[in-house]
């Protein structure tokens, strides 16, 4: 089942601005926003699966265990309305400081290469100009939770997460899949280009286990 995720579902939650935000010094979601989100956990248009927002700040030299401990779980959403209530009340990708990453992962899986549910997968990696980051992140997230990539992966595979990482020069948007061996049969990048026809970015695929830091960070 595919779900078209409309911005109209989010109008009442639009409260964030574009000022740079140091997420290490503030709560990602206010208590008031959390109360609003709670109202939509059991009502509204259901997503095919739940999705969890995560936040991390890249720190070199950390172990896998330390990286996992440093992850901040923002919220798990399971309806269109609860998704927008979170998405529109966390800082925009363009407002997040360098070295931070947002992740949106299927169910409540951790955004860790080494997790058993992730370790055989990889990511399509899109390096993009900072002026395009926010648009790319939003379109890819909506496609993911709306299951728009379902027909773009091979049988036995799935898109299971999306990440945006803010870096010094170009930013990085990643689309996670579960089985790296099936990535060559996918048309995920074709779908991305159809969603973002006028946006330029470089692209490549990387299995998790091919990272030099896999298993040791």
- 216 assigned to some structural domain: no
- 117 assigned to some structural domain: yes
In the chain, helix, strand, coil percent, each to 5? 30, 25, 40
- 70 assigned to some structural domain: yes
Owning domain of residue 170: 31-210
Residue reference for tokens 């061996």:
181
- 123 assigned to some structural domain: yes
| Residues 13-26, mean pLDDT to the nearest whole number | 51
Query: In total, how many domains does the chain have?
Result: 1
Q: Record the pTM.
A: 0.88
d(CA 47, CA 146): 7
- 4 assigned to some structural domain: no
**Looking at residue 193, which CATH number applies to its domain?**
3.30.760.10
Residue reference for tokens 């790296």:
180
- 192 assigned to some structural domain: yes
- 147 assigned to some structural domain: yes
- 93 assigned to some structural domain: yes
How confident is residue 4, by pLDDT bands cut at 50, 70 and 90?
Answer: low
pLDDT digits (tens, 9 = 90+) for 169-187: 999 999 999 999 999 999 9
């Amino acid at each position: 089942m595919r779900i078209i995720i409309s911005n109209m579902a989010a109008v009442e939650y639009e409260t964030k601005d574009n000022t740079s935000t140091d997420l290490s010094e503030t709560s990602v979601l206010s208590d008031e926003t959390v109360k609003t989100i709670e109202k939509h956990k059991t009502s509204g248009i259901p997503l095919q699966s739940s999705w969890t927002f995560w936040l991390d700040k890249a720190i070199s030299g950390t172990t896998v265990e330390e990286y996992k401990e440093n992850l901040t779980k923002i919220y798990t959403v399971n309806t269109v309305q609860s998704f927008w209530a979170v998405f529109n009340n966390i800082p925009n990708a363009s407002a997040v400081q360098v070295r931070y990453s947002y992740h949106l992962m299927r169910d409540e899986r951790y955004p860790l290469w080494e997790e058993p549910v992730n370790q055989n997968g990889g990511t399509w990696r899109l390096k993009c100009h900072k002026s395009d980051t926010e648009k790319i992140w939003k379109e890819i997230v909506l496609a993911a939770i709306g299951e728009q990539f379902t027909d773009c992966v091979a049988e036995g595979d799935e898109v299971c997460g999306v990440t945006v990482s803010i870096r010094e020069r170009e930013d990085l948007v990643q689309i996670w899949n579960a089985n790296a061996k099936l990535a060559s049969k996918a048309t995920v990048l074709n779908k991305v280009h159809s969603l973002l026809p006028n946006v330029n970015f470089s692209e490549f695929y990387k299995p998790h286990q091919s990272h030099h830091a896999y298993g040791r960070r």
